[in-house]
Structure 1
Amino acid sequence: MIIVSPPPSRIYLMRHARSGWPEPGGRDFDRTLDDHGYAEAELVASLAADKRYRPDLLISSTAVRCQETADAMHRAFGGEIDLVMIDELYNGPLDTYLSVLSAQTEQQSVMLIGHNPTMEELLEAMIGPDRASAVIPSGYPTAGLAVLDHGGPVTALAGSWSLRDFLTA
């Protein structure tokens, strides 16, 4: 498994907000946020901004629901954060998400917006399955935002990342 080590020294992991079902004959990729999802995205973005959880770089899946979630975060920080869209995050496995994070060596903090179940697997890989299941016992919620800092204890089941906060709508 790929190990993520600084930089960045802070990583934000966000699952996209709640989306509607695809239109008849439509693609899963094109699903948009529903009204509840737009509210979730805006609320979590506002909470993150209020707590000054400001990434240097925002990375998102190109799926429409992730782009719309990323737009809410981008607006919450005045549009001043670089935003990168990566196709491989859509239906990407854990190693793809880890590779994207480990390649970010120029920023001190990075926010990754993606999909479940990979976001849940990523959180488990970074902080350990016991800690992850304690934080998200029912699974990674839509618009859930984990704030991870480097510097926790290294264990056989997790890297040296610790959970600082977890925001939800």
Structure 2
Amino acid sequence: MKTLTLLRHAKSGWDDSVARDFDRPLNPKGHRAALAMGRHMRSLGLAFDHVVASPAVRVTETLSEIESGFGTALAPDWEKRLYLASAATLLDMLQELPDSVSNILFVGHNPGLEELVLLLVPGGSDLRSDVEEKFPTASLAQISFDTDRWSEIEEGKGVLKRFVRPRDLDPALGPDR
């Protein structure tokens, strides 16, 4: 059994005057949402053998808040390929993982994360429908696969075990009205 957890970075600040998209920091709501998601991850008892994250500023700040709420350092491998990666690139990265890793956490960006869930999980479930609607910032999706080899991960073979959005934890963390 292999388990993939996907975490989208928290809400970033478009008002900050940074030269590159890569350098955009979180806004205050993003900090709160990431902290809440970290606490929720701890309450679920999640554990990861390996963490791979985009090195973008909004991801590094998200992980800092996640770790505060989670109560554990995640020690990610910073992987440039995760920055704005497509679903195809993410799938390639999954299939390259050593089979000694059972539970992986990818922390990155949309649309790639959302598209990967839709690629790996067949239609028909309410959770998948929620992802189809939107994979908001600071959301977490967890997919399991009935295989012992990452190289055998294929389209439509995953089971979406959970999809948690910040607004599911605190309505104030939902979309601005």
Verify same fold: TM over 0.5.
yes
Q: TM-score, normalised by structure 2?
A: 0.79
> Does 2:123 match 1:126?
no
Long gaps (5+) in structure 2: 148-153, 167-177
Q: Distance in 2 between matches of 1:23 and 1:33?
A: 9
The range that moved more, 41-50 or 67-76, is 67-76
Superposition deviation, residue 130 in structure 1: 5.0
Deviation of 1:77 after TM superposition, in Å, equals 4.3
Name the counterpart of 1:3.
none
The 5 Å alignment of 1:15-164 reads 15-21=8-14, 23-24=16-17, 26-75=19-68, 76-79=70-73, 81-105=74-98, 106-129=100-123, 131=125, 133-151=128-146, 158-164=155-161
Secondary structure at the residue paired with 1:20? Answer: coil
Distance 1:45 1:25 in 2: 27
**AA paired with 1:98?**
L
Q: What is the aligned partner in structure 1 of residue 165 from structure 2?
A: 168
Query: Does structure 2 retain, via aligned residues, the 8 Å contact 1:127–1:163?
Result: yes
What is the RMSD of the two structures over their aligned residues, measured on CA atoms?
2.1
Aligned residues of 2:12 and 2:24 also touching (Cα < 8 A)? yes
Which residues of structure 1 form unaligned runs of 5+?
1-5
Task: Report the 3-state secondary structure (helix = DSSP H, G, I; strand = E; otherwise coil) of the residue aligned with 2:133.
Answer: coil
Q: Percent identity?
A: 27
Q: Is the 8 A contact 1:22 1:28 kept in 2?
A: no
The 3 A distance-change label for structure 1 pair 117 and 130 is: farther
What's the CA shift for 1:66? 1.0
Report the number of matched residues: 157
Larger helix share, 1 or 2: 2
Q: CA deviation at 1:101?
A: 1.6
Cα distance between partner residues in 1 of 2:124 and 2:22: 32
Distance 1:24 1:72 in 2: 22
Distance 1:133 1:147, change over 3 A: closer
TM-score (norm 1): 0.83
Instruction: Give the 3-state SS of the residue equivalent to 1:136 in structure 2.
Output: helix
How far apart, in 1, do the equivalents of 2:18 and 2:132 lie? 34
CA contact (8 A) 1:12 1:147 kept: yes
- Aligned partners of 2:72 and 2:82: how far apart in 1? 25
Answer with 36-45 or 133-142: which moved more. Answer: 133-142
- Aligned 8 A contact 2:7 2:107 in 1: yes
| SS of equivalent residue, structure 2 residue 138 | coil
